[in-house]
Structure 1
Amino acid sequence: MSDQSTDDLANRRRLIARLTAIGQRLGYLLYLAAAALFFTGFATSFRGSMVTAIITCLLVGSLVLAPAIIFSYAVRAADREEPLP
């Protein structure tokens, strides 16, 4: 491999690793928000808007977190298979 293509590949892997880390943080944060909303609603009373917020947090968290986890495993496997400088 040439130095230019190696640098491009390393930059791309670093970018994907950064994006997956952000996606995982966001996904877990949304799960935490859903749990906090749930326990708040459990302690007080569930209103329609609170239930909607809980469901939205869970759905968006799942849509963000699942691909982030898969891509993080892919980046780690690529680093193990072919380490870059």
Structure 2
Amino acid sequence: MTERESEDPVLRSRERIRTAANLGKRLGYSCFGGALVLFVLNYYLGGSSLSISITVALLIVGSLLLAPAIIFGYAANAADREDQGLPHGH
């Protein structure tokens, strides 16, 4: 960031939102990946009801993390495009 950008509270807030969104995406996709691996292991090894419950819980947590992270990430990028005067993309 330039010095002007580091002093602007809107840009700092947008960067915090973007950082949180990236973390949310990383955690959400990790939950989905873990659920997929656990599902495949359960399928081939004959898992218990506990492992099925963990798979479902990972899918729910992944969804709860990923949905807002994607929305806020797109919002931060759209705000940057708007500041630069670029087209909206729709």
Q: If the length of structure 2 is used for normalisation, what is the TM-score?
A: 0.84
Which residue is 1:17 aligned to? Answer: 18
Matched to 1:60, the amino acid is V
Whole-angstrom distance in 1 between the partners of 2:78 and 2:12: 16
Give the aligned CA root-mean-square deviation in angstroms: 1.5
Whole-angstrom distance in 1 between the partners of 2:23 and 2:78: 19
| Structure 1 residue 71 displacement after superposition | 0.5
Q: Percent identity?
A: 38
- Structure 2 unaligned residues grouped into runs of 5+: 85-90
Which residue is 1:48 aligned to? Answer: 49
Whole-angstrom distance in 1 between the partners of 2:32 and 2:26: 10
Which residue is 1:36 aligned to? Answer: 37
Whole-angstrom distance in 2 between the partners of 1:14 and 1:76: 10
How many residue pairs get aligned? The number is: 80
What do the CA deviations read for 1:33-57 (whole angstroms, capped 9, x no partner)? 0000001101101211000000000
| Structure 1 residue 82 displacement after superposition | 1.1
Whole-angstrom distance in 1 between the partners of 2:12 and 2:74: 17
Moved over 3 A (4+): none
Matched to 1:54, the amino acid is T
Larger mean CA deviation between 6-15 and 56-65 belongs to 6-15
Higher relative contact order (CA 8 A, sep 6+): 1
Whether 2:58 is the aligned partner of 1:57: answer yes
